[in-house]
Structure 1
């Protein structure tokens, strides 16, 4: 699996959760704007990156971001190649068997997107026999594979699924609302079809099982303080997530 080291470590004085000379390696998948994406300076940017940057100052740790495929994040965490995951990852019951999550910092739902000129799909039952595009390794892929009679078509990033829908190669895209509504705003030929719960607790930061309980507790506490002092609200507004 090809990985790209995108940003240099940001050095922060504080509690020292990383040992001297060590840096916490956060894995992400920079294909999911506005949470993570590659900016005009070829750096990983987005809501999640700003969140980690703020937490590093408040909690006290050094970090670097490592960009990799979404479906490779948990295996990389379990093998020790990274120390944490921040990638708009939903805390699902299945994932919680393998990793520990912070408390959710953002809540979302499943969104089904169709082409505006679609004339066949009027209800969820009409999805039978259709192809649904999803990002590989996401909660939406799991949902799609449970739909009776549906052909799940996974891609490495959701942008590729959107292009496939616009080009008529698939019939629908299943994505979380925080990402999907952004594509709807920019593509008048696409429409919202259905919104439903995604079965997760929400987007959370992941750590390997039973190895970072103290750090997780500290992050949870600081996210709550960010919500109280307005800095979390400012991030939501910056990335049009309100």
Structure 2
């Protein structure tokens, strides 16, 4: 999985960049890129007990900025409206476990993929379900506007229940109000396997089958090549110097 990402990032290594008129700079003259992130997706991006924005993608964006010669200002932005905010120029990009797909590529540009994900289905441990079709007639939750929610909506007979945050869906699952939750596999693992209370009752039942791989990328306003190139340069640099692997190991352990 990660080898694919490394190859893709290395192929997009850029030589030099421009930080000319139009881009905000700090007192040191470095470009400042404002990043929107819906911080409800542990371990990718979330708010810790000290009220700090942390996670795999947060560390990755900061490391890429350091390597690429720019600065990132990461802001917690609710998923509902996050894409509209990008289109209106409220921030320069979104790094928030955004899956790259053809529909989104019509409305925005994407960085080189930085992570490969699959859609996992979290259920109660006593569930015998092996496919989404097994939930026909039942309520299945997912965060609205995500690929997990789209996967649920594709199956006839399932009652798709949308949530503003995936954590709210997990809470309803834990309390028996829905039968399953569909979300990215690292998020599923965090809720179902690593959170002690949930781990006693929940499990990852299966992965939703897909004919094509699903990658996460940083999203940019259509045509904002200057900022996109800057971020791609930083991402490629952290792959080349081994920082990417160190960040991955910190949050997911070594393979």
Size of the alignment, in residue pairs? 227
TM-score w.r.t. the length of structure 2 is: 0.81
Query: Does structure 1 residue 94 correspond to structure 2 residue 103?
Result: yes
Structure 1 residues 50-70: Cα deviation after superposition (integer angstroms, max 9, x where no partner)? 111112112222331221211
5+ residue gaps, structure 2: 1-16
| CA separation of 1:129 and 1:159: change in aligned 2, threshold 3 A | same
> Would you identify which runs of 4 or more consecutive aligned residues in structure 1 move more than 6 Å?
none
Equivalent of 1:204 in 217, 239, 253: 217
Structure 1 residues 158-207: Cα deviation after superposition (integer angstroms, max 9, x where no partner)? 11111101111001110111111122213131122221238564111010
Distance 2:131 2:151 in 1: 17
CA RMSD of aligned residues (A): 2.1
| CA separation of 1:63 and 1:219: change in aligned 2, threshold 3 A | closer
Distance 1:199 1:107 in 2: 11
The answer as to whether partners of 1:109 and 1:198 remain within 8 angstroms in 2 is no
Task: State the shift of 1:71 in Å.
Answer: 2.8
Of structures 1 and 2, the one scoring higher in RCO (CA 8 A, sep 6+) is 2
Alignment correspondent of 1:135: 143
Equivalent of 2:112 in 103, 127, 143: 103
The answer as to whether partners of 1:32 and 1:179 remain within 8 angstroms in 2 is yes
Distance 1:165 1:67 in 2: 25
| CA separation of 1:125 and 1:191: change in aligned 2, threshold 3 A | same
TM-score w.r.t. the length of structure 1 is: 0.85
5+ residue gaps, structure 1: 1-13
